[in-house]
A and B are shown apart, each in its own frame.
Chain A
Amino acid sequence: MSIKIENLSYVYLKKTPNEVKALDNVSLEIPEKKITAIVGHTGSGKSTLIQTLNGLLTPDSGEVTIGEFKVTSKARKNKRIKELRKYVSIVFQFPEYQLFEETVEKDVAFGLKNYGYKQEEAIEKAHEALKKVGLDESFYKRSPFELSGGEKRRVAIAGIIAIDPEVLVLDEPTAGLDPVGSKIILDLIVELNKNGKTIILVTHDMDIVMKYADHVVVINDSKIAFDGVPADLFDGDVSNYSIEIPKLFTFSKMLKEKGLDIDLKTIRNIDDLFVQLKERHK
């Protein structure tokens, strides 16, 4: 059940002088059980796009089909919105601002209780989710407000993955984190993907795209500018999209141009390049 986006348009501040077209007739298919990266400079419409995926925004025209759910331009028709939000969950940028409970475990369990889980069951699942993000028992009873930024972020992400959505959307989950914190979150994303979750990742970091994404979508000026695999994106002309090609890709491409037999599509990190070089050039 992939996610199908058809002719989606969205306008902010409609019928005022400050009207802004955030999405302009966007059609797109996001593959199931893959990691899809959404790339584009600030204000290109990425955030608007992900918010239509679980009906937080009602599009002005067009529709989104996610399995048996549908988000259309007619708000009344979008029934079962709560079920949809359990199916597609969004981790917003700087999710640490959504914490409010007295203890970490209660905060993570909050979403579960909203979806009808009993208290004990919710706490139990909250503990599981906290373990997944690498926070041990010592954190359960602490106040979320006394944690460090990275820990807060992990608590907030735990609050979403505890709900166990099939499609997990993350808006710049690593923004403002140190390298260790980023790696914990990215490893978690890979782990969730291996367990069969569809991941949609909004990011500015092309190294992340190259390393983790199976599929990449570039949004430029409210329109889809590119839709395909990361290697094709980096191989083509990206001068218009404010994208910085990863150094590793540039390096591999130079090696290939010098006559080495390298398959650019399968290189995700330095180890992949090493393995290819070793196998093909004995």
Chain B
Amino acid sequence: MNDLTFGRYAPFNTITHKLDPRNKIFLMILFIVAIFLRVNTWSSALIITGALLLILILAMIVSRVNFLQLFKSLGGMWVLILFLLIIYIFIPNPNYNPDHIAFYIGTYGVNYDAFYQSGYIILRIIMMIMITMILTATTKPMDLTYAIEWYLTPLKLVKIPSHIVAMTLSIALRFIPTLLDETNRIMKAQASRGVDFNRGGIFKRIGALTSLIIPLFVSSISRSEELSNAMEARGYDPYAKRSRYRILRFGWLDLVALLFMLMVFGGVLALKIMDANFMEIDFIFWIFGTKPLF
């Protein structure tokens, strides 16, 4: 169960923790856009990705995010890597340089560019995981929902009740740890009755899972009923005006972070628009030569 702690809020007191969650969400979106902006030349891609990766690693160190957690979360990515490799290798791409054939499968030439492309996209996905991890590890779930509510406020104009959405979200988030504890407890109780969740054939495992899922459902349903009763007993009215204990504040640190990110984003955009090839080097030619290896 400890694997599920990925990206869980860690109560340190770093600069990143102090930032306004609304600002953090905006920064994250900008960053992800910057990561996935398509650039056409190798050199720009290298400079952009390298710079962003450097910023990310520094941000992770500053906000004291556990690197080990990151590596653990990458363990499950091998399926994705395999999938991408197959797609990039076997779908012909006119942009691949025909000189960059690594080896032949039958008469089909496997291009180095395919490996480069899939590696590039995987790196960018990892970077996206890193940035979301920084967000969730440094922001309390409740603050996140407040921020989301703030972003949804304009939707009130089209009669979408953003505060109800936010309340639903915050209740859901609030109960994730409770459900995890509950899962843990039921797993232990069933383990005491001889259930082995880690071994056994597929049917055994399905049986083991039912013994976990049904009690979880039963307790969640009764819990939600209790919660709604408790809320009603305290006079909760979804349409009433609500005040809030914690007020989000946009401070000078936020301004600095925002300006810095805008600068980075501007730089990335400029590089993309120029799309210049600074170093006239064909990397693959440079590293491997043009002859097929096999």
Residue numbers of A with Cβ under 8 A of B are 16-18, 51, 54, 56, 82, 85-86, 89-92, 95, 97-100, 110-111, 114-115, 145, 159-160, 163
Contact = CB atoms under 8 A, between A and B. Distances in A.
Interface stretch (B75-83, B101-109, B209-217, B228-236): B209-217
B225 interface: no
B188 interface: yes
B192 A85 contact: yes
Contacts of B194: 82, 85-86, 111, 114-115, 163
A92 B193 contact: no
Contacts of A89: 192-193
B10 A17 contact: yes
Contacts of B274: none
Contacts of B154: none
Nearest to A169: B192
Contacts of B188: 51, 56, 90, 92
B189 A17 contact: no
B192 A97 contact: no
A98 B12 contact: no
Sorting the interface of chain B by its residue count into under 10, 10 to 19, 20 to 34 or 35 or more gives 20 to 34
Interface string B170-197: 0000000000001001101111111110
Contact of B210 (A85, A95, A98, A100): A100
Contacts, number: 61
A100 B215 CA distance: 6
A97 to B, nearest CB: 5
Given A17-B12, A92-B185, A100 B192 contact: no
B189 A95 contact: yes
Given A85-B191, A98-B211, 17 more contacts: A17-B11, A54-B192, A56-B191, A82-B196, A85-B192, A86-B194, A90-B192, A97-B215, A97-B218, A98-B190, A100-B210, A100-B211, A100-B218, A110-B211, A114-B193, A145-B218, A160-B193
B219 interface: yes
Contacts of A56: 188, 191-192
A82 B196 CA distance: 8
Q: Is the interface of B mostly helix, strand, loop or mixed?
A: helix
Contacts of A91: 192
Contact of B189 (A18, A98, A145, A163): A98
6 contacts: A82-B194, A90-B189, A92-B189, A95-B189, A97-B185, A98-B211
A91 B196 CA distance: 17
A92 B191 CA distance: 11
A64 to B, nearest CB: 16
Contact of A97 (B11, B189, B191): B189
A230 B62 CA distance: 54
B10 A16 contact: yes
B174 to A, nearest CB: 17
Contacts of A110: 193, 211
A92 B214 CA distance: 17
B239 to A, nearest CB: 35
Nearest to B199: A82
B219 A97 contact: yes
Contacts of B196: 82, 114
A18 B192 contact: no
Chain B CB within 10 Å, residue with most, of A95, A98, A99, A110 = A98
Contacts of B192: 54, 56, 85, 89-92, 160
Contacts of B215: 97-100
B214 A100 contact: yes
A104 B250 CA distance: 58
A54 B190 CA distance: 13
Chain B CB within 10 Å, residue with most, of A17, A54, A82, A114 = A114
Contacts of A51: 188
A97 B10 contact: no
A13 to B, nearest CB: 9
Interface in B7-28: 10-12
A98 B193 contact: yes
Give the 9 A-B residue pairs with the shortest CB-CB distance, closest first. A114-B194, A111-B193, A100-B214, A98-B189, A90-B192, A115-B194, A92-B189, A56-B188, A100-B215
Nearest to A89: B192
Contact of B195 (A18, A86, A95, A114): A114
